[in-house]
Chains A and B, each alone.
Chain A
Amino acid sequence: MRFVLSVFLGALALAVVASPASAQSGSATLDAVKARGYLMCGVSDGLAGFSNPDAQGNWSGLDVDFCRAIAAAIFDDPNAVRFTPSTAKERFTALQSGEFDLLSRNTTWTMQRDIALGFTFAGIIYYDGQGFIVRGAEGTTSALQLNGATVCTQSGTTTELNIADYFTANNMTYELLTFEKEAEALQAYDEGRCDAYTTDQSGLYAARLEMRNADEHIILPEIISKEPLGPLVRQGDDRWADIVRWVLFAQINAEELGVTSANVGEMTGSSNPEIRRLLGVEGEFGASMGLTNDWAVRIIRHMGNYGEMFERNVGEGSILKIARGINALWSKGGLQYAPPVR
């Protein structure tokens, strides 16, 4: 019922309160964030590696760190963020009704969300795809052996559509059990109600750690969909979307140029013009966005470049130990590529 209530309140807010997004000079959202003194960021209700609170309520993860990077760019303080967890079902209504300034919540960029829901996706922070986890003892080695399977998943995501497409395309039957919350979906799978559990592959690594006996479960090799995950904002404030987009680009460019949290201080003295522009030694790039010119220095000093953020949260430095794979830089055979600062 909490979901229905929040959606209802969101709908009511749309009906009663929200005035049409006005086109002020600059970014209304940025002005509001500065006046408020902190950033409001929508995250997941708990997904290891992406946004996960610990027992003390401290959030960690890739999506969380990205919000901190934006706060660092604006306030030079990565802790000037308030995180609001939202379920897969609630997230869009919550963003639409202004509960947060951006949604950084392992959310797949789809055409329908971009256009019909009235959002702007600011970039792709993680290239993901939907996969399956099964009990290894049952001898399943490929998703094509899942004919007749019962599959558990969480509702409110693209997975419900992807799995319908995949099983139809491969002439297989299946039964999908969609749970409101991930915790119950995982528990039902772990109890044996389902043959497989499906979600984005990055989520499967996190899910495996939740199982009673993690070693019994294997992640099948097939990726059945494209799931480009990225931060998104409400449509109508293009300048704000630009800021979110360029914070991500700055982190990717920094990795490519070898600027890390450890060496960013000395890098400001670099003679490389690309580095000098990125770090604000040359040009007025930060000021043109309504930030300070050392915006990228702030981001990298506090949160590191993209590679550092990846390794710390989902890569080798984390419990998930996901390989960079297609999330490596374009120059290293991956897909991460950022336009130049110039």
Chain B
Amino acid sequence: MAMSPKREPIWADARLRGFVLQALFLAAVVALLAMFALNAAENLRALNRASGFGFLDQVAGFDIAFHLIDYGRASTFLDALWVGLLNTLLVAVIGIVLATVLGFLLGIGQLSSNWLVAKLATAYIEFVRNVPLLLQIFFWYFSMMSPLPRPQSAIEIGGVAFLSNRGLFVPRIEGVEGSGLFLIVLAACVSAFFLLRRLSHKRRERTGTPLPMLPISLGLLAIVPAAAFFLTGVPFTADIPVLAGRNFTGGMAITPELIALVLALSLYTASYIGEIVRSGIEGVPKGQAEASAALGLSRGQRLRLVIIPQAMRIIIPPLTSQYLNLTKNSSLAAAIAFPDLVHVFAGTALNQTGQAIEILAITMIIYLAISLLTSLAMNVYNARIQLKER
């Protein structure tokens, strides 16, 4: 029996089939989302409720206690959004830096050969990890409240900074004429220093003798900037806070809300980072430590040059998710009146406009963007420190 050549039916092509199915699925998802949006718009109209994004240009009418940019009651809801966003970013950045430093100390401390240090680090991690974050925020906030004095009897720090239950007021440094020039000189000196240090490294690898770094750093980091500072005529003034009536005016205020929030977030997240760092270090094969010891490296050098660089490859991915957690947890700020994005925009602004769908959509997109950008940055860093396979 002769086999007649048979054409394959079109659905037998796995690639084409996959493509069509994916396209159909995408279309279904888009259609579903469009249905949600249309249905929501329709229902809002039926309920006689305002919708759209026009409200962003309207006057917000409320004040925000802590703002990094100019803001007052006559500002718009869009300005309020920016204030909230910047406050969230401020808390996230400070929190991440502090949590990372403390987390690494805790992680290394857990593995310390000093019994007391190791046990203290472990006890800290176990305790802090297992108490709800909101409780910790309240604890720091309200426990710093009672011992702090009223502004009238504030604790004076060197006559320029004042600590009271209104917060820590510190002088604000303001540049005057010539400060621009000074900053340019300073930036040039610092970049020259880093450039020379790199050259010095390269030269040492090539010839065995580094550049004379001591006089170079002294000159670039101390003498030249100091000379520029006085030659430009001391181009800075300090706005020192003064007590006027009920509170301090001038200077820069670091409010108890900010302190409590940053403290609680970084102490809490540090306990998780501590565990991540410990597991990362323990994930480096023991032979690496033994080999570097055999080479005669000191304990510090072993950790800094051999162990940590390899541990970082294990540490970075889970560390990234801790950074994201910290950022998202900062939305607990509303509980202690720190005006973060959720509190100002998805809280007060939502309540004044009533446009829940629009405001929550904006807020969610912003958090998504922050998270994705953080992940991107960490992934780039992760790729750089991966094992170089040549």
Is B120 interfacial (CB-CB < 8 Å)?
Answer: no
Is B40 interfacial (CB-CB < 8 Å)?
Answer: yes
Q: Number of B interface residues at 8 Å Cβ cutoff, please give it.
A: 53
Instruction: Report if A236-B337 is in contact (Cβ < 8 Å); known contacts: A4-B331, A88-B351, A150-B166.
Output: no
Question: Closest Cβ of chain B: how far from A163's Cβ, in Å?
Answer: 8
Q: Please give me the residue from chain A that is nearest to B47 by CB atom.
A: A118
Please tell me which one of the listed residues B73, B141, B342 contacts residue A168 in the complex, with CB atoms under 8 A apart: B73
Q: Which residues of A155-180 have CB atoms within 8 Å of chain B's CB atoms? A: 155-157, 160-161, 163-165, 168, 174-180
Q: Which residues of A6-59 have CB atoms within 8 Å of chain B's CB atoms? A: 7-8, 10-11, 14-16, 18-21
Please tell me which one of the listed residues A19, A149, A179, A188 contacts residue B246 in the complex, with CB atoms under 8 A apart: A149
Question: Closest Cβ of chain A: how far from B156's Cβ, in Å?
Answer: 19
Q: How far is the CA of A168 from the CA of B352 in the complex (A)?
A: 19
Question: Closest Cβ of chain A: how far from B38's Cβ, in Å?
Answer: 10
Residues 31-73 of chain B: 1 if any A CB is under 8 Å from the residue's CB, otherwise 0?
A: 0000011011011101111100000000001111100000001
Please tell me which one of the listed residues A8, A185, A235 contacts residue B360 in the complex, with CB atoms under 8 A apart: A8
Task: Report whether B73 and A165 are in contact in the complex, using a CB–CB cutoff of 8 Å.
Answer: yes
A residues neighboring B (CB under 8 Å): 1, 3-4, 7-8, 10-11, 14-16, 18-21, 88-89, 92-93, 96, 112-113, 115-118, 146-150, 152, 155-157, 160-161, 163-165, 168, 174-181, 184-185, 187-188, 191-193, 195, 234-236
Q: Please give me the residue from chain B that is nearest to A149 by CB atom.
A: B246
Which of B61, B65, B337 counts the most chain A CB atoms within 10 A?
Answer: B337
Is B343 interfacial (CB-CB < 8 Å)?
Answer: yes
Is B175 interfacial (CB-CB < 8 Å)?
Answer: no
Task: Report whether A155 and B343 are in contact in the complex, using a CB–CB cutoff of 8 Å.
Answer: yes
Residues 142-165 of chain B: 1 if any A CB is under 8 Å from the residue's CB, otherwise 0?
A: 100110001000000000000001
Q: Which residues of B249-265 have CB atoms within 8 Å of chain A's CB atoms? A: 249, 256-257
Question: Closest Cβ of chain A: how far from B84's Cβ, in Å?
Answer: 12
Q: How far is the CA of A96 from the CA of B356 in the complex (A)?
A: 11
Question: Closest Cβ of chain B: how far from A249's Cβ, in Å?
Answer: 24
Task: Report whether B357 and A14 are in contact in the complex, using a CB–CB cutoff of 8 Å.
Answer: yes
Instruction: Report if A155-B334 is in contact (Cβ < 8 Å); known contacts: A161-B61, A175-B247.
Output: yes
Give the chain B neighbours of A113 by CB distance below 8 A: 354
Is B179 interfacial (CB-CB < 8 Å)?
Answer: no
Question: Closest Cβ of chain B: how far from A341's Cβ, in Å?
Answer: 29
Which of A118, A168, A178, A234 counts the most chain B CB atoms within 10 A?
Answer: A178
Q: Please give me the residue from chain B that is nearest to A187 by CB atom.
A: B142
Q: How far is the CA of A116 from the CA of B58 in the complex (A)?
A: 14
Give the chain A neighbours of B46 by CB distance below 8 A: 20-21, 236
Is B332 interfacial (CB-CB < 8 Å)?
Answer: yes
Name 24 interchain pairs, CB-CB below 8 A, sorted by A. Answer: A7-B346, A11-B360, A14-B44, A15-B357, A89-B350, A96-B47, A96-B356, A113-B354, A116-B354, A117-B354, A118-B48, A155-B348, A160-B63, A165-B73, A176-B63, A177-B337, A178-B343, A179-B335, A179-B337, A180-B334, A192-B150, A193-B166, A195-B246, A236-B48
Q: How far is the CA of A92 from the CA of B352 in the complex (A)?
A: 11
Is B195 interfacial (CB-CB < 8 Å)?
Answer: no
Instruction: Report if A160-B244 is in contact (Cβ < 8 Å); known contacts: A15-B39, A188-B337.
Output: no
Is B245 interfacial (CB-CB < 8 Å)?
Answer: yes
B residues neighboring A (CB under 8 Å): 36-37, 39-40, 42-44, 46-50, 61-65, 73, 138, 141-142, 145-146, 150, 165-166, 244-247, 249, 256-257, 331-332, 334-337, 339, 342-343, 346-348, 350-354, 356-357, 360
Task: Report whether A147 and B73 are in contact in the complex, using a CB–CB cutoff of 8 Å.
Answer: no
Please tell me which one of the listed residues A16, A89, A149 contacts residue B351 in the complex, with CB atoms under 8 A apart: A89
Please tell me which one of the listed residues A93, A185, A193, A235 contacts residue B47 in the complex, with CB atoms under 8 A apart: A235
Give the chain A neighbours of B342 by CB distance below 8 A: 4
Instruction: Report if A234-B335 is in contact (Cβ < 8 Å); known contacts: A148-B244, A191-B145, A193-B165.
Output: no
Give the chain B neighbours of A18 by CB distance below 8 A: 43, 47
Q: How far is the CA of A96 from the CA of B339 in the complex (A)?
A: 26
Instruction: Report if A178-B337 is in contact (Cβ < 8 Å); known contacts: A155-B347, A191-B146.
Output: yes
Give the chain B neighbours of A88 by CB distance below 8 A: 351
Q: How far is the CA of A180 from the CA of B145 in the complex (A)?
A: 18
Q: How far is the CA of A150 from the CA of B248 in the complex (A)?
A: 11
Instruction: Report if A150-B247 is in contact (Cβ < 8 Å); known contacts: A11-B357, A180-B343, A193-B256.
Output: yes
Question: Closest Cβ of chain A: how far from B167's Cβ, in Å?
Answer: 9
Question: Closest Cβ of chain A: how far from B222's Cβ, in Å?
Answer: 41
Give the chain A neighbours of B65 by CB distance below 8 A: 150, 175-178
Please tell me which one of the listed residues B62, B249, B331, B350 contacts residue A1 in the complex, with CB atoms under 8 A apart: B331
Task: Report whether B43 and A20 are in contact in the complex, using a CB–CB cutoff of 8 Å.
Answer: yes
**Closest A-B pairs by Cβ, 3 of them:** A20-B46, A15-B40, A164-B73
Question: Closest Cβ of chain A: how far from B32's Cβ, in Å?
Answer: 10
